[in-house]
Structure 1
């Protein structure tokens, strides 16, 4: 499925945040296959910097928990909820599960490793219809 040339210019943006280049590339590929255009960043601080100028076009932040610097995935989720409440958030980790108070109520959590089908099913279920790219609107 993924994006065609006709819908690239209207597809919503997702921001993928992970310090592991292979996981970042895999997550980006999965989201592009779901119909998103993607920005990517290696740290939570870099993600916030991008959102300060591009948040109006972003509908989804898909982030790892453990990243270098002062802004881990949980802190990023709290910051995004406070400053850009319209953005949907998915936090992922293979080592850490959120404890009460780690994340605001709105973000959702998935475990790593994840695969394309799992992420697409999760997004099809959790994203509001108006924020889904076309391929997710027609996912079975």
Structure 2
């Protein structure tokens, strides 16, 4: 995606180095009504956010990934640079410590379910950023 086209359908960026988990998360978010973008590590995620931040309403990131940024660092940088983006951080091995996550971000454990993800999104996304299916 190079030039986002204004749309009523918000974008979500899924960041995970495990391709199967990334695809599962993308399917869950697509079922919720998002268009999805993906990155396999934190460095690629920040580069993509730098180009496409205006179109992205949600960052959904794993914690442990290769590269110079883990998911907590991606979440903090996203919150600092693009505060309009809602953030969900997921991990099956790491729990956030004080200061790891930016204010307003949500943490969910892996494995996660579609219902679990959708419930968190209903709570954290402003109505103007929610896909139609999450407004019910």
Is the structural similarity TM-score above 0.5?
yes
Residue ranges of structure 2 left out of the alignment (5+ in a row): 1-6
Match of 2:11 in 1: 13
Matches for 1:78-93 after TM superposition, within 5 Å: 78-93=76-91
Match of 2:50 in 1: 52
Q: Is the 8 A contact 2:106 2:120 kept in 1?
A: no
What's the TM-score, normalizing by structure 1?
Answer: 0.90
Displacement of 1:106 in angstroms is 2.0
- 1:115 equivalent to 2:113? Answer yes
- How many residue pairs align between the two structures? 130
Match of 1:5 in 2: none
Displacement of 1:130 in angstroms is 1.1
What's the TM-score, normalizing by structure 2?
Answer: 0.93
- Bigger Cα displacement from structure 2, 102-111 vs 90-99: 102-111
Secondary structure of the structure 1 residue equivalent to 2:23: helix
RMSD across aligned C-alpha pairs, in angstroms? 0.8
Matches for 1:21-60 after TM superposition, within 5 Å: 21-60=19-58
Distance in 1 between residues matched to 2:121 and 2:84, nearest whole Å: 15
Could you list the per-position Cα deviations for residues 31-87 of structure 1 after superposition, in whole angstroms to 9, with x for gaps in the alignment? 000000000000010010011111000000000000001110000011101110110
- Bigger Cα displacement from structure 2, 49-58 vs 118-127: 118-127
Match of 2:98 in 1: 100
